[in-house]
Amino acid sequence: MLSVVVDLGGTNIRLAVCELEKGTLSQQKEFICAKFLTLEAVLEQYFETLQGDVKHLCIAIACPVEGDHISMTNLSWSFSKKTLKNKFKLTSLYVINDYTAISLALPFLSSKEKIQIGSGEAQPNGVTAVFGPGTGLGVSHIIKPADKWISLDGEGGHSSFTANTREQADILFFLQEQFGHVSAERILSGQGLVNIYQSLCMLQDQLPRLKQPKDVTKAALNGSCDIARRTLDIFCQVMGGFAGNLALNLNCTGGVYIAGGIVQRFVEFFQSSEFRTFFEEKGRFKKQLLTIPTFLITHHNPGLLGATVYLRQELAQ
């Protein structure tokens, strides 16, 4: 009997076999979602490579997970939990939000799997927040009221974007003309980088020439485009303000963590950015924010790690 964990995002899907007793992972595989029509197709291909029957499956997925029918936010895939469980003859199937999984990984990250940004010291078992710009913007919190870690699910990435400078306000007004409501995800995501860049170009009466997030990042880092460079500056500022809001919402004395694939592309730039300045600039509560640490996750796959934590906790009950 095998236990498998899955980390399913809008771009990639990662799978691994979980050793329940030790919590270790093996036979890890990664696939590009766009190359498959359905989740079932990926699972079939992966399961065929395993020696043994899969009986327990935990899927961490980038969308709301309530109810039987699951439809992804940033991918055309959808499925029924009941149908999936029956199709693969599973003993147990758990479908959790991807940031539920990532949040559960936080207590198990080593010092080598995260980089602290700025001051502050995490308090043991303190409320902890995590967010991550990627295809979308995932958000979660984690608490430990007794002897079990509990993730507080939510869709914080779709809360309203808050401007903290006149320049950010100009971008907000420009994007409101396009989208109406401007969520934090409209800024803090891959497409968010493009949205910031295009807004700055139009505000400066210049024709946008960069169309992909990776192009904006590349141009910013190699110095070939001043507007792209400013885009990255603002992206880090907004991350700081958003992280500070998360810290204040639940008094996150355990710290605020940053996940997602985007920041991994410019770690050095991020470390010297205004992220921490905007995190701390909360007026009368600045002193409190100074004591709360912020971390960049460098673990290669916290989603699989967290799904393993979830599966082990559930099956141990």
| Mean pLDDT, residues 51-80 | 92
Please state, in angstroms and rounded to a whole number, the distance separating the CA atoms of residues 230 and 18.
43
The domain 2-97+301-315 belongs to what CATH superfamily? ATPase, nucleotide binding domain (3.30.420.40)
Higher pLDDT, 249 or 74: 249
Res 102: pLDDT: 94
pLDDT of residue 9: 85
pTM of the model: 0.89
CATH topology for the 110-298 domain: Hexokinase; domain 1 (3.40.367)
Three-state DSSP string of 89-150: CCCEEEEEEHHHHHHHHHHHCCHHHEEEECCCCCCCCCCEEEEEECCCEEEEEEECCCCCCE
pLDDT at 123: 93
Q: What is the dihedral of CA 83, 88, 93, 98, to 10 degrees?
A: -90
What's the pLDDT tens digit per position in 249-293? 999 999 999 998 899 999 999 999 999 999 999 999 999 999 999
Q: What is the pLDDT of residue 136?
A: 87
For the chain, the structural domain boundaries read 2-97+301-315, 110-298
Residue 141 has pLDDT above 90, yes or no: yes
CA-closest candidate to residue 11, choices 296, 216, 308, 262: 262
